[in-house]
Structure 1
Amino acid sequence: MKWQQIPLGPLQTNCYIVENPDKTCLIIDPGEEGKKLIHLLSQRKLKPIAILLTHAHFDHIGAIDVVRETYKIPVYIHKQEEKWLEDPRLNGSQLFMQIEPIMVNPADHIIHNEGNMKIGEFSFHVFHTPGHSPGSVSYYFEENDVVISGDALFQGGIGRTDLPGGNSGQLLKSIHDKLLSLPEETYVLSGHGPVTTIGEEMDSNPFLNGF
């Protein structure tokens, strides 16, 4: 399995492409610039089979519909945010006057529980990691030492908690219980910024000193 980080949109939100040797791939958080993303996928002759969302904030969902329609693939989201895609107030786009309200068609599949998930030949584990938002999830590809954490954990930082449904105590508990328990060599692919590792954040992240 290989992965690629693609920053998209004005907030440079990281979209991730996770691919297998047969060129099938998962698209995680297609936040903006759908045509650019489709062009990159076409250049690499990749065959998307699903869109996975770490959460439904506006900067992670803007290109969903154009990508979904192009490839005729399903969208997965956690049950606590299944209504957010259609609601600019909940997904946060209504809160920023410089951003057009974002409304996306409903997801095709709802993630109800943590645990193992299999899509095509991709097998991974879903962690519910709320705090940045109530339905935030992280996708852990154990065999490849990779966790895609959305906006829960960043290099040297953690997600903001001042948007609808945010809770700082809950976020720190999610990070401690679900992410810091992973092997230290695990790569953390965050929603913004560079790639880091669990070990690096345990050692140097100032927000996690209490742990």
Structure 2
Amino acid sequence: MTWTKLSDDFPDDCWTLSDAAFRMHVEGLTWSNRKLLDCRIPRDDLRRFAKHPDAVNELLDGGWWIAEGDTLRIRHHADYQRLREQVIAQQEANKTNGRKGGRPRKARPDSKPERSAPETESVSESQSGSETQRDRTGRVQDGALMGAEERCSGRATERPATVDQLDPDQYANRWGPSDVPWDEPGGVS
């Protein structure tokens, strides 16, 4: 597999192109890299990948591409693309490394996967020895629910498990209307 490299300012460079020419340029770069053509596209190949082959004229007029007989050479962003020789050399190195065990082999359908011991063990109990341990649901292990104040102070209080068990007077807002400076300067309005 090959890759087409576009810099992060590529769209900024292309802002003067029409949408069709922008697409044609990206399609041309991608086709050239996929076929290892070193940014030289035979004109006959255009019909195989181009959605808007008429946009080639805009690219030629703008100097983005150059016509060289039956071939179109991409100029803009050509320096970012790897050459055919570089891609082939990398593919050969990958094959050699693979034969040496450089990558794990895929399991064959007829073979059983090997079971290995986990690299890390999960610790399910706290190492801190704290009396108020939560079980990741917000509930302390003894059934109490810790609020923000209790978590900060380390105190847990027994609270109802469901909304139906709430006592409205006990859990009413601690701040009454007179305690909140809504209309004062610096207050929330």
Question: TM exceeds 0.5?
Answer: no
Structure that is richer in strand per residue: 1
Structure with the bigger RCO (C-alpha within 8 Å, sep 6+) is 1
